[in-house]
Chains A and B, each alone.
Chain A
Amino acid sequence: MQEFLDSLINQGYFAGVPRDVVYAGGMIVFGAIVVLVFVLNVAGVSTWVERRVWARIQSRVGPNRVGPQGILQWLADGIKLIMKEDVVPTAADRPLFLLAPYIVMMGFVGTFVVLPFGSRLVIADMNVGILYVTAVTALVVVGILMAGWASNNKWSLIGGIRSAAQIVSYEIPNGLSIFPIVLLTGTLSMQGIIKAQGWAPWNWFIFANPFTFAAFFIFFTSALAEGNRTPFDLPEAESELVAGFVTEYSGVRYLMFFMAEWGNLYVIGAVVTTLFLGGWQIPHVTDSVVLSAILEFVTFFVKSYFWVLVAMWVRATLPRTRVDQLMAVCWKYLVPIAFVNLLGTAAWMIVWPQGNRPVRFIMLLIALGTVGYFFRRVAYHTRRAGVRAHGELYLSPLS
């Protein structure tokens, strides 16, 4: 951020204004822009995207009435919820009930402080960046537990307790799969981690060695569990707990929980991109500060949003696990494998301190092969389904 403002000052903007004022103003303006323009819109549009993606998967049409292709549906929903009465149950613990959504929201918006959208586009490049992300996202569990308790509803309470157990357990594999990357780079700073990778896929940390490859999947799985997403959406399991910890909420507070949930999806994507997929790295194409900032931002956004789409797809595909199975997956499989990854990466760094280039390429080929095989299967199934249904299965995607 500071570099970006420096370069703007050097190019002659803000002539005559003291440097510190420019810095402070830049911070505030950029922070406000990020939260109001970017965060809320991304979270809002994600709800629409998710509903459309779901609808395609389920051979429905989805919301398509408000605005072109229904893209303003989220605004309509938001306005409706804001105008609703904010009901607080009589038996609820009033202060906690009112406070809980803000804490959840804080936990999610706070992460955007360190998310790097470009080499210069970051609000604060802290030296403990990734640690800060894990710490701040853990705040969400406080809010959820608070909501569950304060509602004075047994379904809410079960939802809150489930969420606490789940998030606390999945923090461990989540944190353990960050460590291999920290070992490789020797820094916790988000920018430092991205700068240690290159723009080319074989320079990404996901292909650095087989252990980081496994760590990537563990990280994504446990991030889904931390974000309360299917197949781990037990805290708000509709068919079991009515609506879990949000059962008693209405109006704008209800909106906040869902804003946090969908915004959190983007955070998951962004952190995955930063740690494993090269972040905003692009090949050198232009000397212009603004143009390269835009290109970096687009690269970062596309990479992170891809994982949002994957999360949506997973949600439409998989059923929900049971609470004991959820814990078994975490403690019996993910935690031990994450430990092995950590030790394996350390051993790898001792054997090949400079990394092993052939292995990187081989792993890239394996990954590409898997993706190719996947698309072949998709094509096969689509063809077979098309033959079965005599063509009436598939509505036009833009109908």
Chain B
Amino acid sequence: MSLAGFEVEVQKSGDTGLETEEMTLNMGPQHPSTHGVLRFVVKADGEVMREAVPDVGYLHRSIEKISEKVGYHGFMPYTDRVDYVAAMFCNQGWGMVCEKLAGIEVPKRGEYCRVIASEFNRISSHLLSVGTMVLDIGATTPFFHAFREREKINDLLEELCGARLTYNYMRIGGVAWDLPPGFVERSLAFLDAFEPLIEEYNDLITYNTIYLGRVADVAAISREDAINYNLVGPNLRASGVKYDVRRDEPYSIYPELEFDVPVGSGEEGTVGDCFDRYIVRIREIQESCKILRQCFKQIPDGPVIAKVPRKFKPPAGDAYIRVESARGDMGWYAVSDGSEFPYRCKVRTGSFAAMAIIDKISRGLMIADLVAVIASLDIVAPEVDR
């Protein structure tokens, strides 16, 4: 039997003569809830999914290959496009790996500027994540409240670096510009207004009964699975693993700052369910606010960028660094052959690992749950493919 244009698998169930078919659904690449160009091939029995196989590669832009042709400085704007929702971390990763290759020390104020910019970016990325998650569950209002605040962060970052999404703020050896006059005051005013609004956000949606029914106990990832599938960042912490690159392999000025690492506790269901992944992000927003306040208090005077030659030629060798991006442990690996161009560059991103586990956790869920799972894993399609 076949519907026009579709091949369907027919299974005979016993001798009753009844035929049942598994429906193959093509979710994506154009679909309202696959954040970006993602595709899932869903085998569904009515509303229940038998499997959901992710198909990646629609957004591959050869970013790593481009680095081999444009040189170290010239590659910085391209790193924005690795993960355009959290571009600061990609900037920082590339900057740090080059500094490690050449042994450059970043001035203290430069490091503070980097951390301030990245933590603002982390808040805005998490706001986007939780906002689109509740939108996918069907609540429209919290989405707008999250984006209203994200707009203000975009305004602040625009003051800082002139761009609202692809920042291109950091340079090898520091950052491009110092904080503009009055930035600290405006940022503190924003934080004062923003921190209570997280409470409002919780009032709006977090503990709503229908919302809890949709996300609690759905697609729980056990601690072992999370480690075996190499999940990172908030997804890993939601499963109860207290691992954060900022704390466990500190870089930049993070050792000087005090912050907690929120982990999922299964407060509304099982540890590692969609709700835990959601609430961990909300708590990380609060921690980022704390970090920002400390940065603004401690920021020293001085230059923001080290002296780096325009013709940047690091000695031959390789380097690997890790940054805690909004989507988790982001690894940057670069090989130098002593010339002006990197010999090879490789990025390891969190969304790719998250994509891999969808096949495992989606079996037996309903189609509506797949949407919640994709959203809760915070998958950003360009970061998967690069």
- Residues of A bordering B, CB below 8 Å: 54, 57-60, 91, 152, 154-155, 158, 162, 230-231, 233-234, 237-240, 242, 315-325, 381, 385, 388-390, 392
- Report how far A238 CA is from B3 CA in the complex, Å: 24
Q: Which residues of A contact B197 (CB under 8 A)?
A: 388-389
Q: Is the CB of B213 within 8 A of A316?
A: no
Q: In the complex the two chains form, is A59's CB within 8 Å of B33's CB? A: no
B contact residues around A381 at 8 Å (CB): 203
Q: Decide yes or no whether B12 CB sits under 8 A from chain A.
A: no
CA distance A155 to B42 in the complex (A): 12
Please name the residue on chain B nearest to A57 by beta carbon. B141
Interface segment out of the listed B79-87, B162-170, B365-373: B365-373
Residue pair B141, A323 in contact (C-beta under 8 Å):
no
**Closest beta carbon of chain B to A242's beta carbon, Å:** 6
Which one of A152, A234, A240, A388 contacts B3 once the chains associate, using CB atoms below 8 Å? A152
- Classify the secondary structure of A's interface with B: helix
Cβ contact of B368, chosen from A152, A315, A323, A385, cutoff 8 A: A323
Q: How far apart sit A324 and B371, CA to CA, in the bound complex (Å)?
A: 15
- Determine the distance from Cα of A58 to Cα of B138 in the docked complex, in whole angstroms: 14
The interface residues of chain B, by DSSP majority, are classed as helix
Rounded to whole Å, the gap between the CB of B202 and the closest CB of chain A is 13
Instruction: Report the 5 A-B pairs with minimum CB-CB distance, sorted nearest first.
Output: A320-B138, A319-B139, A58-B144, A239-B33, A388-B196
Number of B interface residues at 8 Å Cβ cutoff, please give it. Answer: 38
Cβ A319 vs Cβ B23 within 8 A: no
Complex Cα distance, B26 from A321, in Å, reads 23
Tell me, yes or no, whether B47 is within 8 Å of chain A by CB: yes
For chain B residues 191-207, which have a beta carbon within 8 Å of chain A?
193, 196-197, 200, 203, 205
**With A59-B148, A388-B193 in contact, do A158 and B213 touch (Cβ < 8 Å)?**
no
Nearest neighbor of A55 in chain B, beta-carbon distance: B144
Asked if B261 CB lies within 8 Å of chain A CBs, one says no
Asked whether, in the complex, the Cβ of A60 is within 8 Å of the Cβ of B144, the reply is yes
Which residues of chain B are near A234, meaning CB under 8 Å?
A: 368
By a CB distance below 8 angstroms, the chain A residues around B25 are 154-155
Q: How far is the CA of A60 from the CA of B145 in the complex (A)?
A: 10
Complex contacts, B6 vs chain A, CB 8 Å: 154
| CB–CB B193/A389 < 8 A | yes
Question: A317 to B137, alpha carbons, bound, how many Å?
Answer: 12
11 pairs, A vs B, C-beta closer than 8 Å: A155-B25, A162-B47, A234-B368, A240-B33, A240-B367, A316-B141, A317-B141, A318-B139, A320-B137, A320-B214, A389-B197
Query: How far, in angstroms, from A31 to B111 measured CA to CA in the complex?
Result: 74
12 extra A-B contacts, CB within 8 A, seeds A318-B208, A323-B368 = A158-B47, A238-B33, A239-B137, A318-B138, A318-B139, A318-B210, A320-B139, A322-B369, A324-B366, A325-B214, A388-B200, A389-B193
Q: Is B339 an interface position by the 8 A CB rule?
A: no
- The residue in chain A whose Cβ has the minimal distance to the Cβ of B211 is A319
CB-contacts of B127-142 with A (<8 A) = 134-141
User: Given the complex, which residues of B lie within 8 Å of A325, measured CB to CB?
Assistant: 210, 213-214
Closest B residue to A389 using CB positions: B193
Judge whether A319 and B200 touch: CB under 8 Å.
Answer: no
Supposing A59-B144, A316-B141, A318-B139 touch, asked if A231 and B210 sit within 8 A by C-beta, the answer is yes
- Asked if B32 is an interface residue, CB under 8 A from chain A, the answer is yes
Nearest Cβ on chain B to A159's Cβ, whole angstroms: 11
- How far apart are A314's CB and chain B's nearest CB, in angstroms? 11
Q: How far is the CB of A208 from chain B (nearest CB, A)?
A: 30
Residues of B within 8 A of A242 (CB): 31-32
Q: Give chain B nearest CB distance to A367 CB in angstroms.
A: 23
Q: Which of B4, B208, B368 contacts A322 (CB 8 A)?
A: B368
B137 contacts A319, C-beta separation under 8 Å: yes
For chain B, residues 317 to 367, give those with C-beta under 8 angstroms from any C-beta of chain A: 366-367
- A239 and B32 contact, Cβ closer than 8 Å, known pairs A58-B140, A152-B3, A325-B213: yes
A91-B4, A230-B138 known; A59+B208 contact, CB < 8 A = no
